[in-house]
Amino acid sequence: MNVKKIDHLGIAVKNLDEAVKLYTEVLGLKVEAYETLEEQKVKTAIIHVGDSKIELLESTTPDGTIATFIEKRGEGLHHMALTVTNVEDALKEVKAKNIPLIDEKPRKGVQNTRIGFLHPKGSKILLELVEG
CATH number at residue 81: 3.10.180.10
How many structural domains is the chain composed of? Answer: 1
- Cα–Cα dist 9/79, whole Å: 6
Backbone angles phi, psi at 18, to 5 degrees: -65, -40
Closest CA to 126 of 6, 10, 3, 2: 10
pLDDT at 1: 87
Can you give the pLDDT at residue 117?
A: 98
Q: Nearest Cα to 69, choosing from 57, 81, 82? A: 57
As a whole number of angstroms, the distance between CA 91 and CA 16 comes to 30
Cα separation of 90 and 129, whole Å? 8
Dihedral class, residue 84 (left if φ above 0, else alpha if ψ from -120 to 50, else beta): beta
Strands (E), 1-132: 3-12, 31-37, 42-49, 52-59, 76-84, 107-108, 114-118, 127-131
Mean pLDDT, 10 residues at a time, the chain of 132 residues: 96 98 97 96 97 97 97 98 98 97 96 96 95 96
13 contacts: CB under 8 Å, gap ≥ 6 = 19, 56, 57, 58, 70, 75
Give the pLDDT score at 22: 97
Are 131 and 114 in contact by the 8 Å Cβ rule? The answer is yes
The domain of 116 spans: 3-131
